[in-house]
């Protein structure tokens, strides 16, 4: 079965073709970073307009790159939520129109389930059950995963997500949007002994996160430095180093705690922040000492992309799930509300 996946939840237009026997056939991604950079964040109306312009050309590009025609597409999967309502509507209406015109089924996919399953696109795949750390610009969650659709929320951010905190810290330092890669880049030149930032909520019981206090501490540090003299490049690097270390350390501590709580030894990490090299290295080192394995997608599939939507959609379509007559997108959509795929279904067996 050839499944076309369309991702338009925020500021990236992703399209991919996934075959349930051969794997990923082709994919393409258009990023709107240049469009939103001058505003310091995503402008929803501009995002929707860009999706309108880019989605169909990317569909044509991917189908041709796969050496197929539209008649070879057996189903269309698209992101139905969570995300920006206008951006979601562009993807949903485009996907369902294509499916209707081609006479094939369509299915709305949960964006975060796509991220959670993205590591399944790699050769080394985790088996169920495992703990998933979903860490991106809009979400920071720890989830126990016993199968597709079998999710138990263990903890989540009570305020800013980790990716959002990275963006805000970068803005304080005068770095471009999106902030995560720029923080990580200059942090490599930072002095690890100059500042020590707090690790939020690590002494609290449970697995929830909070990064607002860390954000405030960063701002206070920056303003204190600016009172003395304009920020130097070394000042920025030192603050970035302390900030990144605090976020990474907090995530690692919570992941270790989650694995211990659930008596599991497999961790899946996905979402844009999962591309952070420091986070990957510290998780591998810390959890490796406990005999745990860490799985994550290739860097190109950490951020939003069509491949993860095509894959997640293929699993549910193979299990017989399809859209009804109405187009429904959900800007807010708890992943725990998703229906499970039975263990003996064709979808889960494809893993």
Predicted pLDDT of residue 349 = 42
- 3-class secondary-structure state, position 78: strand
Q: Check the annotation: does 111 bind a ligand.
A: yes
Residue 248 marked in a binding site: no
pLDDT > 90 fraction of the chain, expressed in percent and rounded:
91
pTM (whole model) above 0.85? yes
Q: Is residue 123 part of a domain?
A: no
Q: Is 167 annotated as a binding residue?
A: yes
SS3 24: strand
Q: Is residue 209 within 8 Å of residue 136, measured between CB atoms?
A: no
Is 182 labeled as ligand-binding? Answer: no
Range of the structural domain that residue 104 is part of:
2-117+301-337
| In a shared domain, residues 68 and 169 | no
Residue 137, pLDDT > 90, answer no
Residue 351 resides in a domain: no
How far apart are the C-alpha atoms of 12 and 32, rounded to whole Å? 6
Task: Judge whether 345 lies within some domain.
Answer: no
Give a yes or no: residue 221 inside a domain.
Answer: yes
Q: Is there a single domain that holds both residue 184 and residue 89?
A: no
Instruction: Confirm or deny that 124 is annotated as ligand binding.
Output: no
Q: Residue 126 — left, alpha, or beta (φ > 0 → left; ψ -120 to 50 → alpha)?
A: beta
Q: Any binding-site annotation on 134?
A: yes
* Residue 96 banded pLDDT, cuts 50, 70, 90: very high
Are residues 151 and 289 located together in one domain of the fold? Answer: yes
User: Residue 101 maps to which CATH number?
Assistant: 3.30.420.40
204 is annotated as contributing to ligand binding: no
208 and 184 in a common domain: yes
Please give the average per-residue pLDDT across 209-227, as a whole number: 96
Start-to-end CA distance of the chain, whole Å, equals: 14
Closest by CA position to 310, among listed 9, 58, 24, 60: 24
The verdict on 258 and 132 lying in the same domain is: yes
Indicate if 136 and 252 belong to the same structural domain. yes
Is 108 marked within a binding site? no
Q: Is residue 350 part of a domain?
A: no
Q: What is the pLDDT of residue 241?
A: 98
286 occurs within a structural domain: yes
344 has binding-site annotation: no
Mean pLDDT of the chain: 94
- Name the residue with tokens 């860097």: 299
pLDDT in tens, 298-347: 999 999 999 999 999 999 999 999 998 888 899 999 999 999 997 665 55
The torsion of the CA quartet 101, 107, 111, 113, rounded to 10 degrees, works out to -150
- pLDDT, one tens digit per residue, over 40-58 is 889 999 999 999 999 999 9
Residues 113 and 35 in one domain: yes
Per-residue pLDDT, 347: 54
Q: Are residues 75 and 135 in the same domain?
A: no
Decide which of 267, 296, 325 is a domain's last residue: 296
List the beta strands (DSSP E) in the chain. Answer: 2-7, 12-19, 23-31, 75-81, 106-110, 130-135, 140-147, 150-156, 266-270, 293-295
On whether both 267 and 313 belong to a single domain, the answer is: no
Task: Count the domains in the chain.
Answer: 2
Q: Was 115 annotated as part of a binding site?
A: yes
Same domain as 209, residue 80 = no
**Helical packing angle, 162-172 and 212-228, nearest 10°:** 10
Check whether 110 is labelled as a binding-site residue. no
343 part of a folded domain: no
Q: Is the pLDDT of residue 350 over 50?
A: no
Given CA atoms 336, 341, 342, 343 in this order, what sign does their dihedral have?
Answer: negative
User: Which of the listed residues 296, 320, 345 is the one where a domain comes to its end?
Assistant: 296
Residues 90 and 168 in one domain: no
Cα gap 87→240, rounded to integer Å:
32
The per-residue pLDDT for 94 is 98
How far apart are the C-alpha atoms of 26 and 314, rounded to whole Å?
15
Alpha carbon distance 316, 75 (integer Å): 11
Using pLDDT thresholds of 50, 70 and 90, give the confidence band for residue 204.
Answer: confident
Q: Does 349 reside within a domain? A: no
Q: Looking at the structure, tell me whether residues 232 and 314 fall in a common domain.
A: no
């Amino acid at each position: 079965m050839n499944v076309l996946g369309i991702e338009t939840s925020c500021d990236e237009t992703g399209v991919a073709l996934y075959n349930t026997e051969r794997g990923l056939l082709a994919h393409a991604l258009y990023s709107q970073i240049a469009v939103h950079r001058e505003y310091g964040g995503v402008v929803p109306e501009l995002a929707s307009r860009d999706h309108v312009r880019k989605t169909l050309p990317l569909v044509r590009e991917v189908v041709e790159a796969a050496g197929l025609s539209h008649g070879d597409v057996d189903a269309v999967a698209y992101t139905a939520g969570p995300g920006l309502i206008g951006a979601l509507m562009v993807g949903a209406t485009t996907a369902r129109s294509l499916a209707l015109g081609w006479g094939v089924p369509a299915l709305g996919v949960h964006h975060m389930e796509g991220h959670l399953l993205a590591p399944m696109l790699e050769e080394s795949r985790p088996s169920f059950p495992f703990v998933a750390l979903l860490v991106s610009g809009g979400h920071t969650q720890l989830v126990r995963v016993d199968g597709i659709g079998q999710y138990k929320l263990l903890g989540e951010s009570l305020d800013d997500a980790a990716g959002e905190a990275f963006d805000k810290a970068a803005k304080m330092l005068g770095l471009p949007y999106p902030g995560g890669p720029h923080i990580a880049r200059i942090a490599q030149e930072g002095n690890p002994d100059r500042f020590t930032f707090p690790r939020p909520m690590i002494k609290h019981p449970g697995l929830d996160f909070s990064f607002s206090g860390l954000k405030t501490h960063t701002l206070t540090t920056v303003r204190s430095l600016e009172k003395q003299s304009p920020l130097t490049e070394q000042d920025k690097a030192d603050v970035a180093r302390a900030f990144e270390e605090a976020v990474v350390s907090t995530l690692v501590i919570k992941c270790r705690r989650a694995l211990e709580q659930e008596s599991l030894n497999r961790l899946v990490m996905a979402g844009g922040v999962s591309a952070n090299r420091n986070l990957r290295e510290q998780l591998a080192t810390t959890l490796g000492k406990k005999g745990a394995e860490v799985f994550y997608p290739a860097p190109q599939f950490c951020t939003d992309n069509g491949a993860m939507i095509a894959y997640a959609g293929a699993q549910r379509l193979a299990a017989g799930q399809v859209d009804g007559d109405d187009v429904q997108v959900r800007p807010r959509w708890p992943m725990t509300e998703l229906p499970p795929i039975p263990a003996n279904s064709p979808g889960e067996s494809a893993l």
